[in-house]
Every structure is written in C-alpha cells, then in structure tokens.
Structure 1
Amino acid sequence: MKKRTTVVFCLAAGLSACGGDTGSGSNIVNATPGSHWSHLDQLTAKVVRGSGVDGTLSPADLYAHYNMPSQYTGAGQTIVIVDAPGSANVANDLSAFSSYYGLPQCDASNPCFQQINLNSGAVSASNDWDMEIGLDVEWSHAMAPAAKIVLIQGASSSVNDLFKALQVAVSQPNVVAVSMSWGATEFSAETQAAYDGFFKSYPGIAFFAAAGDTGNNGTNQIYPAASPYVTGVGGTTIQSLALPETSTSEVAWSLGGGGPSRYEAMPSYQTNFLSATADPVLTLNSGKRGIPDVAYNADPNGSPVAILVKGEWYGMGGTSEGAPQWAAIVARLGQQLQTRGSSVSSLLASNHGFNSLIYQTKIDQASKSSFFDVTAGSDDTSNKSCVICSATAGYDEVTGLGVPNVGNLLRYF
C-alpha cells in the first residue's frame, strides 16, 4: 500500500529529524503534506462502506452523517486553501470529480475555482503536493459546492513561503476561512509576531489546521494547529453512517494528533470551558493549550474518501481531510449569516475569533449541541501510559469538542 505518512515540517540539518528546536522558526524548512493515500484497489479493510467510488465515503454520506442542511451551500463565501506546489492540473481534476458526484462545475459561467501559483519553477518530484491539493480543493468544493475556492500555492514548501502565501490568502475578497493541511513540530518562536501575531491580526477569518497524523507520543504536537488563533482539527474513524450520537458510530482515529502545546499558554476560551465543565485537562495540561479544538473523519483505511488526481482515483485520509471541510462548514455559516444581513467577519471579530465562539456555544448548549461528542478510541503512540490520549465525554485532546453537528451549529446563530 502506498502511503504518505507524515504531516510535519522537518527541522534543519544537525537536529534530530522532526524533533528538535532551534528556538527560531527560521530554520524550519520543508513540509510534507498531511494526507494518507492508497490506490482504490488496495483498500480492502474498510470499516464502513459508503456510496462513493469503490465504497469510499461520498459527499452525500458526509452531508447526512454530520447533519448538513441542504439550504446552505456556501454561496457568496470564499474558502482559501494554502498549499505548496503540485504538478497536477487541478482544474481538470476538479471538473471530473464534480461531474462524478453531481457537483456544480467551476467554469467560465460559474467561476467558483481560482488558482494562484506563487511558484515560478518546476515542481520537485520528491515534494509534489498533488495529492494534498486534490484532497483540499475537491473536498472543500464537495462540502460547500456554491462557495468560491481559491487555491494559493506557495513558492515552495518552506515555512517562509507558506506564510507568504497566507498573506495573499487573507487579502482575497469575501474570504471567510483559510485551510492549512500542514504543520511543523512546535518551535519556541511560534508565539512571536511573525507566527501567532499573524493569525491574531485577522480575528474575522477562521483559520483551520490539521492536528497531525502520528498520534500523540508526548512531544509531536504541531504548529499552526497549536496556535490559540487557529482551530486545530483532530481525526476520527467513522464506523457507521448513522448520525454519530453514540460511541459506536464514530471513534478517535488512532493516528490523530493532539496533546498539550509545548509553548502556547492555555487561552481563556479553553480555561473558561474546562473550568465550567470540571474537565481534568485543565489540571493535566499545567497551563498549556490543548490540541485539537474539533475533529472530523480522517481514517484512510477505516473510512476513506476518494479524490481524482491526474485522471486516477485514490482513497484518502488524514487530519488534513478535516481542515478544508471545516472551512467549508464556515462557508455554509457565512451564507446563513448573509441572508440575515450579517457576516462571518463581524460575528468572529465581535467574539474574539472562531475558537472563542465555538467553545462558548458548547457551554451555552445542552441537548441541542453543535457537536457530537466522541467518547471512544485513543491516539496513544507513546508506548507508555498516556492519560490524555483517550477520547472521553466532554473536551479531550484527541477529538477536542467533538465532530460537527452542522445543523445545530448553524441554528445557534
């Protein structure tokens, strides 16, 4: 089985692979995309069979599973995907993917896809992000088919170039959400103005980042999912296409990332929530931010989705599946707010960002929760006892607040 298995930037030469810390982000170099993929004919151990290509999960399966109301499809909103360079013809693949699943075509009459390539050279065969780009673009379109998708490809996969791409991302008209399906092993400079300060400067935009695909070994938490101004997305395995109202429907994915941040202090929205719910993470984290904030389907073997890249279908997974699809959920929210004369920008800015907003909704709600709680499964890859590595009732550092109940989330506002 072919598989891309790592989601982290690797640090500069002379440090242990993907594990050291120079004290500065300047030495963080290349990123590998956070997706796991296999040829469809190699997918033989699926826990759940969907209605998509070769039994993978289809858009319709996820609409139903996460209770996505059909009247809101992201119209009038823009989702920005930030990735490194890839060699595929993204527009052609998106067109064929959309045709297969009956989604709107992005063409001259419906300009719902735009590609901004900041790379002027050839794509390296050893660092080709074609699979990640296909997953991000195709599935953000699938989950918000009326939204505009803007793909910004950095000049390279270096952290500096990806942050330059983020600068372009926040300048796009009508942008409501930015998806980042990549991450770096945390570094001490992440709290500085160039990193956290950038995200903090745009409280009216929801930023989503994959929380990682190597489980929790105690030291492998990643950035930007660790930033308090970014929504970290953890991973789950869908075991039943029914609504995930019980622990048997959806469980924590064994390789989903999470755990306490090494450098970020616990933000007030987490402190307030954990205090109000008497959650043990408040004590166990010793004042550090908890990762992730939310979760989404991610298991490439147990509950894969399919993408089309260069005319071939692949089964996909990883926490990078959830980041663009959570961005699509915000686009649906944006359309609803727009019909009421409001906007995502004004809602988030007045509530100090998306994370503050969703933690407060969880406090305010009872039986009509915006989240399905995930209470089973573990992401422990530490080979030792890990109290915080198991999904439990309430907030946990495997699946965060849970997976989305989109209908209830939208009805809250």
Structure 2
Amino acid sequence: MLLLSTFVVALAGLGGAKPLSDKRWNDVSVKHRWVEIPRGWEFHSTPPEDHLLEMRIGLKQNRLDELVSALYEVSDPTHDKYGQHLSKEEVDALVAPHPDSVEAVESWLQYHGINPADAEFRSAGGEWIVIRVPVAQVERMLDTKYGVYYHAASGSSVVRTMEYSLPTELLSHIDVITPTTYFSTLRSMRATSFLQPQTAPLEDAASFATDISPLAVPASCGTTVTASCVRALYNTTNYVPAATATNKLGIAGYLQEYANDADLQTFFKQFLPNAVGTTFTHVQVNGGLNDQSDPGVEANLDIRNQFAEAISFPTPNIYYSTGGSPPFQADSFTPSNTNEPYLDWLNFILNSSTIPQTFSTSYGDDEQTVPEDYAVSGGFWYVMTNLFMQLGARGSSIMFSSGDEGVGGGNCQANDGTKKVIFQPAFPASCPFVTTVGGTTGVNPTVAVSFSGGGFSRYFAQPSYQTASVTPFLNALGTKFAGLYNATGRAYPDVSAAAEGFQIVINGRVSGVAGTSCSSPTFAGVVSLLNDFRISEGKAPLGFLNPLFYSTAKSGFNDIVSGSNPGCGQTGFTAGTGWDSVTGLGTPDFLRLQALLP
C-alpha cells in the first residue's frame, strides 16, 4: 500500500566545516534550515552554555518496509493474517537500525567525548538514543547556534535552533535529532475542547441517568449530551463488557492536565450511578504529575471521558499524564527542556510489554509547523508516524480528534515564504496510521458541527485503503477549492461522533463542553466495546482500524449528509452521501459494527 508522500527529501548544500581533525566528521551537510522564524515565535535570548538538553537521536530503521507490510496484513480483514498482531519483540526487531548505523552514530558520539553506554535512554529496538548534553556541546556537534524562542499566544518558551547540520556520513543513518528546528510544542498546540458557557448546565442532572432507547433518542440529546445520550446514539446501551480482565482503554494527557478522581465520582453519581466507586489508573510519564487539586477540562472530558467511561464501563481505563512541557527559565539550574512529550509517551508505551487495546488523544497542530522535507522523510512527523504504525502492528487502535478549526484557523497563510492562503490540515489527524474522529451535532437529523476539522494532508499520500471511498467525494467536488488543498493527500476524518453540549463535571460542578475532544474519546469508547467483544470470543483485538472501516465494516456507520466545516475565509467542505471530509464515514452504530467484525 502507498504509505507516505513520494516527495524526495531535498537536502541543502554543504554547511560550514567544523575545526575538527577527523575528516570523517568534518564534512557536514545541513539537515534542516528555516528561512524565517516560524510564525508565532520570536527570538528572546541566548540560552546559558550549560543549559542541559535531552538530545534525542532517531536512527534510521533498517526493516521499516517489512513493518509496513506486516501492519497491513494484520489489519486487512480479507487477509489470512488478519488479527495476527506482532509481539513487542517482533516489532523491535523490525525497527532496529542497521549495525552500520549504530557503529557510525556511536563513533560520532565517542568523537565528541560521549560514551554511548551512558545514554539516558535507549529504546528496545535501538532506534532511539537519548543523551543529556549542554547546549554548548550540542552546538558544536550540530554546527549551529541555539536560542530561546517565545510563543506569545501560549506563553511557551523553548530552546531551539533555526538550522542544524550533521556529518554527511550520518545523513543515511539518522532520521532526526531533537530538539532542533521543530518549534511547535504541546503547549502551543491546541487541545481540541472548549467550554460552552452558553450551554446551561443541567439543574437536575441525576434525572438524566436513566437509559434512553436507541430507537427513540430525544431531541434534547442534540444540545445537552449526557452519558445516556451517547449510549443510545451509538447503540451501546445493552452491551455488557465481558473481557474486562484483559481489555483496557488508554487516554493520553499532556499540558499539566490531571484527571480528577472526585469529579469522576460526581459525574458517576449524576449520570452513571452503577459506576460509582469505580476508579481508574493514573500513570505518570516523564515527570507527568497527578495534582488532584487542579483538575483540567481536557483531562476530565477525556478520562472515562467522563464519556469514554459512560460507554466503555466497566472496562478498565488508564490516564497517562505526560510531562515535558515546562516553561524555560534562563538559568543553569533549569532541568532539560525538550517540550516534545509525544515522543516520551509513545516510547514509554512501546517499551511496555502489555499495552491497552484502545487509545485516544485530543491534541494537534497545523501540519505545516514542520516543512515537508522535514516531515516526510527523516523528520519529526515522519518519526511520529512510524511510532503510531508500531502501535497498530502490536494490536492497538489509536483515535485522534480531527481538530476544531474546520479546514483551517487563523489567516491560513503558507509558511514557505509565499504567504499563500491554503487550507491547513492538522497533525496527527493527517497521519495515515491513526483513526481520526470529526464532530457532529444534533439528533434527527444529526449534522456536521461547523468546527469539525477535515481536509487532505500535504505530506502524506492518500493510502489505498481509503481511495474507493474518497474518490467519489473528490469527483463531486470537481474544481471547487482547486489549489487550496492536496487532492492526492491522506484524507480525514475517517469517522465522527458528537462534539458539543457534553455535560461534564469540573471542580464538582456540571459544565457544558464542546470540541472534537468530545468526539475522539467517545468514539474510542465504542471501539473499546468492539475490542471487548472480539477478546471475549477468543479473538485478537482490532488493532489498526482503517482498512476494516473503509471496507467490510463501512455499512456499520450512520452517514451524515449535511453540514460543513468553514475556515480560511472559505465555506469549507460539505458533508454528503458517503465519505466526506467533514464527518468521514459517519457516526458508529455499535450493534451493526459488531455484526460486521471478522
């Protein structure tokens, strides 16, 4: 199957030579360079020379093509290997770098006085090496100068460089080094939820705890979404999980957002009384915290979503609180500051022997925050996409919210110097190896919510699993929006779920919340039940979902045929019959999907 865009990385010319005696490391080439400071950031100051960076070196994976093939074999419901997911050890073997790459990188480190055996972290497959190095030394190694850059909109400060170089010999051995020129951080990213003060909280929430018949979902569920509403909307009301000893649902949290135990119990009392007393597991990753005195909107929305739980209960849920996004303070006592916690979370999960069968994450950013030559091959997004692929190969289903900006937020100008206005796809929503969830609103009819993120990647080619579904949409679109989007790119969202009017508990009070952060964990709750059903029958979990959803399970979705996702000064795409770039294949019907499983 077509995996990534076939654009070839265009490496820049030779950079300035370092005053090194060893010619092996003296010949350097630019790995990546920004022409101008990425939009939204400004240079603030020069970091102290002894400021420590956690330098992450991503080595090229020697058998990646085999991993891609294996993923599609175990994910294609018509293949005889469907469901035969790879073990951790098998995945590790496929992502391991070639011995020549290991030798070259370790020799380079030793040349700079770094003992590879002293690495802070080495992934099980050996494709990641993490070392803690002062800024001054990193500058010598990468032939660059770092600065402290400030992002006014988020209040985030990071230590980054405008360009970096590598010895030419290492270009064929190293995919990416961070932190370098990737500026966006989770703090500058958008958490895809927002409060809805205009949505009055329920005064008598307990009266909404009664199950609703899927055959008669009241119109009120279109504006005031409760636990009973989502169970009825997606036809899960009468399903009782049977594989709770094995099946688990994981929620990834960042930005000092903490899932609050007390609020969860209040939510249960109000909306799901039979779950009162149920707890969830807190897992802290890379300095992530669990401050019960400071609950977050995003975390409370996500964990057991308070709605993922409404659907998946009593399936065990795990909330991963991942650190790695502290503001930079310009002094020598500041701890390392990478601000790329996605890598920390993914490496933590992939280094675990047992992992949840279902995941949901609700953060994202514009795809163009990394230029194409840095994203498609040998860059941060490229590496991230490969990590998601590893999760799928091991049998996990990964949901991401599609974003809350329609076809793009802000002025939508390209960051390639042209300032051309184009639709702005989001990442990780545009990753080919995740299931991206858009947003809907209303009941009878259910329509696309106007902020539902959707579009076409400019970095990743359209995978063949979705071509048959996407082509009719493109044909009907014709020349409309020509030049504003990439018609050959990976199309998203894949599916959708309700996205506004959700009643959650924050600081003990019921509040209204909206966003595709509502959609993703809600959809994940449905997937968790599908995994429960498979496991209870002695079968493997679903793993990577898209090849199944776009083929034999396509009729398990409720088609959404109206609504649009405006942005960038345009009306945006319009929902219609079949797949569309607003609501994807539609919203799930659990019982129909259950009957369609292999």
Aligned residue among 551, 555, 558 for 1:372: 558
Structure 2 match to 1:145: 313
| Contact 1:252-1:377 within 8 A present in 2 as well | yes
Do the aligned partners of residues 88 and 10 (structure 1) sit closer, same or farther apart at CA in structure 2, a change above 3 Å counting?
farther
SS in 2 for 1:26: coil
Specify which of 349, 352, 359 is matched with residue 178 of structure 1: 359
Alignment deviations for residues 270-312 of structure 1 (CA, whole Å, 9 cap, x no partner): 124335x67527977431111111111113xxxx111112212
Give distance in 2, aligned partners of 1:70 and 1:11: 49
Asked whether the equivalents of residues 259 and 299 of structure 2 are also in contact (C-alpha less than 8 Å), the reply is: no
Verify: 1:79 aligned to 2:268, yes or no.
Answer: no
Contact 2:430 2:457 in 1 (8 A): yes
Cα pair 1:78 1:177 within 8 Å, conserved: yes
**Larger RCO: 1 or 2 (CA < 8 Å, sep 6+):** 1
Indicate the residue corresponding to 1:4 in structure 2.
none
1:163: Cα distance to partner? 2.7
For structure 2, list consecutive stretches of 5 or more residues without a partner in the other structure. 1-37, 44-148, 154-161, 164-179, 203-217, 326-337, 409-421, 480-485
1:201 aligns with 2:390: yes
Which moved further from structure 2: 331-340 or 83-92? 83-92
In the aligned structure 2, how far is the partner of 1:121 from the partner of 1:113? 16
The 3 A distance-change label for structure 1 pair 95 and 172 is farther
1:398 deviation in Å?
A: 0.4
User: Cα–Cα, structure 1 residues 281 and 322, in superposed 2: closer, same or farther, change >3 Å?
Assistant: farther
CA distance in 1, matches of 2:473, 2:190: 38
Root-mean-square deviation (CA), in Å?
3.3
Q: C-alpha separation between the residues in 2 aligned to 1:175 and 1:106? A: 23
Summarize deviations over 1:363-410 as a string: whole Å, max 9, x none: 5xxxxx210000101112232364xx1001111100011111111011
User: What residue is the counterpart of 1:359 in the other structure?
Assistant: 550
Larger CA deviation: 33-42 vs 95-104? 33-42
Counterparts of 1:324 and 1:67, CA distance in 2:
16
Residue 394 of structure 1 aligns with which residue?
Answer: 578
Equivalent AA in structure 2 for residue 375 of structure 1: V
Q: Verify the 8 A CA contact 1:72 1:335 in the aligned structure 2.
A: no
Asked whether 1:131 is paired with 2:280, we answer no
Per the alignment, residue 258 of structure 1 pairs with 454
- CA, structure 1 residues 198+106, in 2 after alignment: closer, same or farther (shift >3 Å)? farther
Q: CA, structure 1 residues 339+357, in 2 after alignment: closer, same or farther (shift >3 Å)?
A: same
- Which residue of the partner structure matches residue 6 of structure 1? none
Judged with a 3 Å threshold, the aligned counterparts in structure 2 of structure 1 residues 317 and 102 are, in CA distance, closer, same or farther, namely same
Is the contact made by 1:207 and 1:230 (CA closer than 8 Å) also made in structure 2? yes
Secondary structure of 2:551's counterpart equals helix
Matches within 5 A, 1:271-310: 271-274=467-470, 280=475, 285-299=486-500, 304-310=501-507
Q: What secondary structure, in the 3-state scheme, does the structure 2 residue paired with 1:379 have?
A: coil
CA pair 11-168 structure 1, distance change in 2 beyond 3 A: farther
1:49 and 2:235 aligned: no
Deviation at 1:139, TM superposition (A): 1.3
C-alpha spacing 1:122/1:94, structure 2 compared with 1 (3 Å): closer
Q: Which moved more, 1:397-406 or 1:29-38?
A: 29-38
| Aligned residue identity for 1:153 | S
Structure 1: 5+ residue stretches without partners: 1-8, 241-248, 364-368
State the aligned residue count. 365
Give the AA of the match of 1:38: Q
Aligned to 1:168: 348
**Cα pair 2:257 2:299 within 8 Å, conserved:** no
Alignment check: 8 A CA contact 1:210 1:232 kept: yes
**Contact 1:235/1:256 (8 A) holds in 2:** yes
Q: What is the alpha-carbon distance in structure 2 between the residues aligned to residue 104 and residue 295 of structure 1?
A: 28
Partner SS, residue 429 of structure 2: coil
Contact 1:98 1:105 in 2 (8 A): yes
Q: Matched residues in 1 for 2:317 and 2:353: separation?
A: 11
Shift of 1:89: 6.0
In terms of Rg, which structure is larger?
A: 2
3-state DSSP of counterpart to 1:361? coil
Q: Distance in 2 between matches of 1:201 and 1:282?
A: 35
Which residue, 271, 277, 283 being the options, matches 1:101? Answer: 271
Query: Quick one: which of 42, 47, 50 aligns to 1:13?
Result: 42
Which residue of the other structure, out of 152, 168, 183, is the alignment partner of 1:27?
A: 183
Aligned in 2, Cα 1:283/1:154: closer, same or farther, shift over 3 Å? farther
What is the TM-score of this pair, normalised by structure 1?
0.78
Q: d(CA) in 2 for partners of 1:393 and 1:115?
A: 42
Local SS of the residue matching 2:283: strand
Query: Which of 404, 409, 414 is the equivalent residue of 1:213?
Result: 404
CA distance in 1, matches of 2:466, 2:502: 31
The CA deviation at 1:101 is 1.7
Conservation of the 8 A alpha-carbon contact between 1:40 and 1:313: no
> Contact 2:499/2:519 (CA < 8 Å) preserved in 1?
yes
Report whether the alignment pairs 1:235 with 2:439: yes
2:282 equivalent in structure 1: 115
- Name which of structure 1's ranges 167-176 and 29-38 shifts more when overlaid on structure 2: 167-176
- Change in Cα spacing, 1:359 to 1:89, as seen in structure 2 (3 Å) is closer
Distance 1:318 1:40, change over 3 A: same
The code of the aligned residue for 1:306 comes to: Q
Return the letter of the residue paired with 2:406.
G
% identical aligned pairs = 26
CA distance in 1, matches of 2:582, 2:199: 30
Note closer, same or farther for the CA distance 1:114–1:281 as it changes in structure 2 (3 Å cut): farther
The alignment's TM-score, normalised by the length of structure 2, stands at 0.55
